[in-house]
């Protein structure tokens, strides 16, 4: 085993943790890993601990970086850019925000009130919950680096295209007036010391942890049930890769669910293990993170129905196309 493979197994997949949990299940709880109960308990404990460890480390590091990019500074950095470059920068900036779609909306308001073009702010809004750096690391820990990188790249493409199309539609009149007049607070960077950034990063970890822990438990629980209790034949009949409707169905099923990648990745992992197409599982995960019903309700308070409908339509169609692409090219990625 090469050094990189060993690091990937021990640091990302946390094989050492899986082995420890196996000992706990077999020797402490006295359960056979070959049984459904034993396998489910191992899946649940291992995934919960692994996700919480990665969540804490990733959010802390990303939040530290984000402390250098308050809304006004971002506006200054992006203000001189035009067209594709500006949209790409907005999408890439979204990868630095480890937030769900609901948490991205206040930043969306801040960027809009700072005078950034609508295309750039929507590129950010699509990218932020969909393809942050946490998703890259978590996907690599569950699947592999090829799938993780492909997911992030195609998510950024969707954010850039979606933002560009919305910009061309010139629908600024459908933004609620209060958004354009919201105050933008910007603490001068020279007033932020290392202790301030440490406090900010730790606060973000605590805030996000407090918000998502229940969804992680639910998501891992559902994943454990799918993995060990629901027959593969039943899942295959609904979401089998051979069915043309599997990707649209998975995308639409996910919309009413409120979670983020930390809660939905265990479900996607379990679906793939049961024979569901990679693209179908990823489409489900993307739809949950980008188009959850609570986030759309919040967004409706910020933008009016025509603009919201265009946003949902573009993202929904983009996710479905991405799902079909991943299903088609999965053999090349695994």
Element (H or E) spanning 57, and its range? helix 36-66
Tell me which residue of 295, 285, 291, 283 sits closest to 319, measured CA to CA.
Answer: 283
- Give the chain's end-to-end CA distance (angstroms, integer): 18
Interatomic CA distance for residues 144 and 165, integer angstroms: 32
Query: Which pLDDT belongs to residue 294?
Result: 65
Interatomic CA distance for residues 132 and 286, integer angstroms: 12
Confirm whether pTM is higher than 0.75: no
Place of tokens 């986030």: 295
Q: Give pLDDT tens digits along the chain (334 positions).
A: 566 666 667 776 788 898 999 999 999 899 988 888 998 899 889 888 888 887 788 778 767 876 776 655 666 666 666 677 778 877 877 776 655 555 566 667 766 766 678 888 888 888 877 777 767 787 888 888 898 899 989 989 999 999 899 988 888 888 877 666 554 444 455 566 778 888 888 887 887 777 778 877 887 888 788 777 777 676 767 777 778 888 998 888 877 666 666 777 788 888 888 888 899 989 988 888 778 776 777 778 778 889 889 999 999 999 999 999 999 888 888 7
The DSSP letter of residue 172 is G
Q: What angle do CA 304, 308, 310 make, to 5 degrees?
A: 125
Hey, what are 142's tokens?
């569950």
Give per-residue pLDDT as tens, 21-63.
999 999 989 998 888 899 889 988 988 888 888 778 877 876 7
Beta strand extents in the chain (DSSP E only): none
Q: What angle do CA 143, 49, 51 make, to 5 degrees?
A: 45
* Sign of torsion over alpha carbons 10, 12, 18, 20: positive
Interatomic CA distance for residues 266 and 218, integer angstroms: 10
Residue 209 burial (C-beta neighbours within 10 Å; 0-12, 13-18, 19+)? middle
| Residue 220 and residue 270 in contact, taking contact as beta carbons nearer than 8 Å | no
Q: How many CB atoms lie within 10 A of CB 225?
A: 16
Name every residue whose Cβ is closer than 8 Å to that of residue 21 and which is 6 or more positions away in sequence.
Answer: 42, 45, 46, 49
Helix %, strand %, coil % of the chain (to 5):
80, 0, 20
Query: Which pLDDT belongs to residue 185?
Result: 44
Phi, then psi, of 277 in degrees rounded to 5: -60, 145
Hey, what are 114's tokens?
């700072």
């Amino acid at each position: 085993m090469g050094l990189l493979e060993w690091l990937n197994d021990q640091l990302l997949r946390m094989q050492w943790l899986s082995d420890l949990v196996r000992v706990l299940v077999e020797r402490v709880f006295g359960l056979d890993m070959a049984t459904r109960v034993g396998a489910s308990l191992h899946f649940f404990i291992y995934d919960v601990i692994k996700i919480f460890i990665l969540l804490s480390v990733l959010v802390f590091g990303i939040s530290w970086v984000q402390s250098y990019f308050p809304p006004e500074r971002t506006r200054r950095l992006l203000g001189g850019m035009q067209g594709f470059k500006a949209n790409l920068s907005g999408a890439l900036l979204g990868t630095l925000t480890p937030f769900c779609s609901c948490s991205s909306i206040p930043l969306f308001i801040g960027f809009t009130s700072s005078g950034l073009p609508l295309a750039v702010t929507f590129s950010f809004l699509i990218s932020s919950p969909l393809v942050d750096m946490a998703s890259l690391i978590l996907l690599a820990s569950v699947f592999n680096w090829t799938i993780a990188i492909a997911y992030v790249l195609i998510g950024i493409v969707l954010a850039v295209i979606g933002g560009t199309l919305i910009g061309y539609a010139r629908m600024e009149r459908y933004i609620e007036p209060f958004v354009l007049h919201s105050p933008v607070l910007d603490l001068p960077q020279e007033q932020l010391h290392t202790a301030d950034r440490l406090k900010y990063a730790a606060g973000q970890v605590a805030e996000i942890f407090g918000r998502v822990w229940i969804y992680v438990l639910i998501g891992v629980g559902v994943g454990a049930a799918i993995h060990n209790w629901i027959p593969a034949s039943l899942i295959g009949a609904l979401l089998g890769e051979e069915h043309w409707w599997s990707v649209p169905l998975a995308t639409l099923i996910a919309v009413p669910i409120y979670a983020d990648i930390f809660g939905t990745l265990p479900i996607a992992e379990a679906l793939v293990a049961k024979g569901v197409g990679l693209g179908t599982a990823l489409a489900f995960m993307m739809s949950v993170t980008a188009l959850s019903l609570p986030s759309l309700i919040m967004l409706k308070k910020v933008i009016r129905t025509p603009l919201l409908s265009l946003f949902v339509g573009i993202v929904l169609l983009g996710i479905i196309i991405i799902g079909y692409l991943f299903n088609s090219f999965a053999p090349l990625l695994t």
